[in-house]
Amino acid sequence: MSERVYFFDTTLRDGEQTPGVNLNQEEKVEIALRLEQLGIDVIEAGFAAASPGDAAAVRAVAKAVTKPMVVSLARANKGDIDAVIEAFKGIDNTGIHVFIATSPIHREKKLNMSKEQVINKAIECVSYAAQHFTHVEFSCEDATRSELEFLREISEKVIEAGATVLNFPDTVGYTTPEEYSELFQYILENTKGVEKVILSCHCHDDLGLAASNSIAAIKAGAMQVEGCVNGIGERAGNVALEEVAALLETRKDYYQKDTGIVLKEIAKTSKLISRLTGVSVPPNKAVIGNNAFTHASGIHQDGVIKDKSTYEILKPETVGFMETKLVLGKLSGRNALKKRYEELGYTISQEELIDLFAKYKDLADRKKEIFDEDIIALLETKSAAE
């Protein structure tokens, strides 16, 4: 039987930490409503304590959506937690996400706290948060550079204090799939009370491993994946949630996981987020890039014309794009040219095609991209010569 993986979207919080991105309340609500259509389970709407504007936006998002749980981030201090309590006052289906750093480098250089002090702070804050929320996520910031034994110890303590979700962020994109998988296995096998909570993964892409690490965590038992659509976020970004969703769908044979993601909403969501954040999607980006379903070489184009699955493991329609695209260039073959003429309403005989293809190749040597007008012009030069 397939198990369910929950999708936690932090576009409005970690995503807003993308350099240069600043979303206003209206834009945040628009994105949240779109994320709801996408089937996201948990929306992190912001960081209520950051500013009155952030608190108001967090509240507005929680009021706007109906299905997803909405959470706000809080550092492990009473002031931050109070800001979240205030922002969500009177609104159902809301929760809190409390974090404190656990790695030696953060404890010593940033917090100037001992292990014991970090644990006590975590217990105090999670207990306080649990008096106000039934959904309390606790994150060990920089978990992947923390001692496993310390992660186990703090996890047991916060579970006792009332945490319902435990998150182990790869805050600086440092881990590898094998190592991250071992972290989850270790926590699952050694932590008292772990069966009562949801384990969550949260990966950054500093070494380009965010999707691989997230999927390794899921395979090892993580039940929630955190990230942002389009992979935006601090520095190199968070894991691109559409990649994880597409992967779990495409390789359901191997991973056997269900998600609530409505894949055909991916394209629309990606476009909206790109437009509102001003962060454009690179053409070669997996799943959502302009080239993700575009075939350029003659061999590939010929294969795709015969059967799309020769070179496509995911159909563009599945993730909400209109169609497979064949770009005409110097590598294109005869079949691709014929198909384009047919799409444009021209019927070309085999004999005509031989002649047109020779002219086409000549043109393609001189011109990088061939447009419809170019191939129509070839037809016209041909009829003028007759």
Point out which residues bind ligand KIV (CB under 6 A).
Answer: 14, 99, 139, 141, 169, 171, 202, 204
Which entry of ligand KIV, Zn ion, none binds 99, CB below 5 to 8 A by partner kind?
A: ligand KIV
CA angle 144, 35, 218 (to 5 degrees): 35
Distance CA 340, CA 216 (A): 42
Residue type, 355: D
Helix axes 52-64, 78-87, angle to 10 degrees: 40
Kindly give, in sequence order, each residue whose CB lies less than 8 Å from that of residue 342, ignoring residues fewer than 6 positions away: 348
Provide the minimum distance between the beta carbon of 168 and ligand KIV in the complex, in angstroms, as a whole number: 9
Helix, strand, coil share of the chain (percent; to 5):
50, 15, 35
Min. distance of Cβ 96 from Zn ion in angstroms?
Answer: 16
**From ligand KIV, Zn ion, none, which one binds at residue 54 (CB under 5 to 8 Å depending on kind)?**
none
**With binding defined as CB under 5 A, does residue 16 bind Zn ion?**
no
Compare residues 99 and 360 and give the one whose CB is closer to ligand KIV.
99
Q: Residue 33 and residue 9: Cα distance in Å, rounded?
A: 12
Stretch that binds Zn ion, among 11-19, 78-86, 303-311, 328-336 (CB under 5 A): 11-19
Query: Between 206 and 352, whose beta carbon lies closer to ligand KIV?
Result: 206
d(C-alpha 17, C-alpha 266), whole Å:
22
* CB nearer to ligand KIV: pick between 79 and 345: 79
- Provide the minimum distance between the beta carbon of 236 and Zn ion in the complex, in angstroms, as a whole number: 11
Q: Is 14 in the site for Zn ion (CB under 5 A)?
A: yes
CB of 8 to ligand KIV, least distance (A): 10
Q: Of 170 and 265, which has the nearer Cβ to Zn ion?
A: 170
Kindly tell me which of 169 and 316 has the beta carbon lying closer to Zn ion: 169
**Partner from Zn ion, ligand KIV, none contacting 139, C-beta within 5 to 8 A by type:** ligand KIV
DSSP E strand stretches across the chain: 3-4, 6-9, 42-46, 69-75, 94-101, 136-141, 165-170, 198-203, 224-227, 257-258, 294-295, 325-326
Q: In the structure encoding, which two tokens stand for residue 358, read together?
A: 């020779």
Nearest distance, CB of residue 150 and ligand KIV, angstroms: 16
- Is residue 204 part of an annotated ligand binding site? yes
Tokens of 133: 């929320």
* Contact residues for Zn ion, defined by CB under 5 A: 14
Indicate the annotated binding residues: 14, 202, 204, 238
